[in-house]
Chain A
């Protein structure tokens, strides 16, 4: 009892002294749950409360071996984000949106041979943006990283794109191979920058009432670490047709706005039969949410596919509607295998869905408005 009291005191103290970003993400709720569900894990709670130096990394790069780099174009709000897996990682994919733009996704099917991925590229620029992966390939080639074919190392770089061509300038400006090369060069293991950067540079959400009622999306990321050492983390570029909702409360966080600027809640509009501009022959291809989940667990390729599939439930929970005919929603999975604990795929998949939903919510709360498209922080004045 005394130990619990000490932990609670430490908890309060840590929350008061830590940057808001860290406490928000490491989650008072999570620690609260640990205290009340498992007194035996008190010591590990204390450990997790006291990062060795500075704020804990609660982003995708919390997974050892995973580095992330953005490159954001200056000529128009768009860009690309490159995730590098040092030494390779077992890969998987869930591709369930109806308007995808992808490359090297077939090789991620468990029935196919290659089971190591060197990098994932997420890019703006619609199908043109797939060019970004060529630049990441070149960077990896220069560093002799890739699948050993005997005669050469071939970098394995699955990629997916989102469409942001209508945002903030000339649609002819889009990420190219140079973007992918620079983003790969920028990749570090530092906490990942969120908001209107990289592949999220031109991302928007809440477009069911038309682009003029949309809000800014962007890059979000979150991580979960269990006392036993298992880590699961997510990074997402949110550019959904639908609204973003917080699954913990059911409330809309960002989405289609009424004429007065308030949130319309498309779930209610859809159920009421209200006329929605984007359902009346509107341009269908202006969306797509792209993400990566990573774990330090050791997974088979089939397990990685299952975790990607379950992570996709995070989209369903935090994006409404998700997986529409106008979204190319895609999630990549990376398992580094550096943690040697026994993996339980249901646990890892459930955490992947949770952390993906957290990342989606952060993508809109961390975004900054561009080109007259407001972000959550522009609307919620303190």
Chain B
């Protein structure tokens, strides 16, 4: 009851402090989805937790060649568990998987999880990205404490984007080496149809490739030339000019798409698969051997309209591409790595 009151108060406060014209165009536009970041102060890294109020049907598309994940096998439609309580995205490479342990602890304290006899087991798929080379001691990485704090910080408010949470140490445009890379981070976008269907995305973009705006074909962020212009990884690759490639495991884009539609587990998997096309459109190259690109899907089922999975999947791909572009445009530079807004001065 107290929790409900707090939640209601928080909701009212969020509404109350927002100008009437503000529309939530982030992942939390999907009712029941809360997002919290925790960013470490010692080094630019952190974690982002997506908490599902109630639960959601989950899916995953894992197509990058260098993944770091947990609880992704259970998302296979052939497997039994079909409800997800939270998704954890974290920096810190495989060490960062520990963040999920903290989220599991927070969920257990709140009695949230899959009913299993006397207990409730929190279902928390997670994926990590590699940021150990950015801005300080690589021994500093997100721990269980990070995942606990991010879960505790989760709200239904508009998601903070840029160099925060799992995106704090994220960079892009590394095909010509880290010295020519740019800062990226967390991006989020949402699409609402008149029918009431909502599809939204949140990504932490740490790609080896460049960021492309699919609506124009132009590079948004990526490998820089000496004069600060973009080299365009696509042209470099086609010319055979790249030599100083980034070390292969120092990348990865991870994300979540959510919808208020009612999907089966197999449909959630198809939604994740199609959402992955957003990576292909906005990142060039994507899904390389040096990227652990992964995308989770969540379907809350709170909207009871007729579901067309092609529509949901197509919108998921659109939202992911939008979110990837925002991850670059909303980032702030760290540790000498400039962001888009730094170049535009």
Contacts and interface: CB of A to CB of B under 8 A. Distances in A.
A309 B287 contact: yes
Interface residues of A, number: 54
B287 A347 contact: no
B280 A317 contact: yes
B310 A37 contact: no
B126 interface: no
A83 to B, nearest CB: 23
A267 interface: yes
Interface string A290-329: 0000000000000000100110110111001111111000
A310 B308 contact: no
Contacts of A37: 231, 235-236, 239, 241
B310 A310 contact: no
Contact of A273 (B194, B216, B277): B194
A317 B208 CA distance: 18
Contacts of B238: 27, 30, 33, 224, 226, 351, 354
B280 A34 contact: no
Interface stretch (B144-152, B162-170, B312-320): B312-320
Contacts of A325: 270, 309-310, 313
A349 interface: yes
Nearest to A279: B308
B308 A350 contact: no
Contacts of A267: 314, 318
Nearest to A357: B280
Q: Which of B209, B232, B308 neighbours the largest number of chain A CB atoms within 10 Å of its CB?
A: B308
Contacts of A224: 238
Interface stretch (A3-11, A122-130, A176-184, A245-253): A245-253
B214 A323 contact: no
A323 B240 contact: no
Interface size class of B (residues with CB under 8 A): 35 or more
A38 B313 contact: no
B245 interface: yes
Contact of B217 (A96, A248, A279): A248
Given A306-B65, A349-B288, A38 B217 contact: no
A18 interface: no
A346 B208 contact: yes
Given A230-B240, A347-B242, A324 B288 contact: no
A41 interface: yes
Interface in B231-290: 231-242, 245, 248, 270, 273-274, 276-277, 279-281, 284-290
B315 A346 contact: no
Contacts of A226: 238-240
B217 A324 contact: no
Pick the most buried of B242, B313, B314: most chain A CB atoms within 10 A of its CB.
Answer: B314
A326 B214 CA distance: 23
A86 interface: no
Interface string B172-215: 00000000000000000001011101000000000011001111
A29 B235 CA distance: 8
A323 B241 contact: no
Nearest to A224: B238
A241 B245 CA distance: 37
Contacts of A316: 276-277, 280-281, 317
Q: Which of A278, A316, A322 has the most CB of B within 10 A?
A: A316
Interface string A49-62: 00000000000000
8 contacts: A38-B241, A250-B215, A267-B314, A313-B277, A323-B313, A324-B313, A349-B289, A350-B285
